[in-house]
Amino acid sequence: MMARLRLLLLFTLLTLIMMGVGLVAGAYFGTSPTGAMTIFFVIAVLINIGSYFWSDKLVLRAYKARVVERHEAPQLFGVVKKVAQMNDLPMPRVAIVPSQTPNAFATGRSPQHAVVAATEGLMRMLDRDELEGVMAHEMGHVKNRDTLVMAVAATIAGAIAFAARILWWNSIFGRNRNVHPALLILVILTAPLAAFLLQAAVSRQREFKADATAAALTGKPWALVNALRKLEHGNSSRPMEVGSPAHAALCIANPLRGGDMLVNMFSTHPPMQDRIDALEAL
């Protein structure tokens, strides 16, 4: 029930943001603001429906992930199956991301449609206990029904950012000046930022819970701590070359480069040291 309420709230807030972009777009292009808001509302509803049913396919495509069979990744399959059984969940599909940066994510609208993905770098870098901790974290997202909420947030936030980007380019090269420049700039800057912050808030809260779920399930919080340290070093020194900022929230570690205060403030992930401290306190 809480997962459904979070999803409904997310749909509502991001739809309202997109309608706000439509309001300014309508005024800017000299059309009816109400009509433009209606069009953007319909677009938002279609995106909501599409992201609900096909978010997993969009995420896998963004990361160039390939769904594999047991014989192609026997250790990964074995670990995922063990963790799924411990959670009393159906076996998810398993995918491999062609990246040497160590990372992992889970997606899918329900446990019956879940996909767990790991990068080639993750499988190479972690030992079996650490891999189990990471997969338990991802299956924790599946169990807590986070995968749908986070994938939908990523999809809609990306759409809002795209709509705001169109306004930005038209404000530079277009001839219409029906909207005050200050209001146009405000929407261009704040619409994608608001969507991003909503996405980040969802992700940050969920990461701590998934960490705790994984530690309790495996009984090896130290293994996840070791894995997180390796992931932090691996992603900061070599950010992922696939994926997009809109989908960064899905990964267990932030796959984007950045260590300054501004980046940390708007990161989709809580600081790694905070997560490690919370695990070590268990």
Catalytic residues: 138
As a whole number of angstroms, the distance between CA 17 and CA 178 comes to 20
As a whole number of angstroms, the distance between CA 84 and CA 77 comes to 10
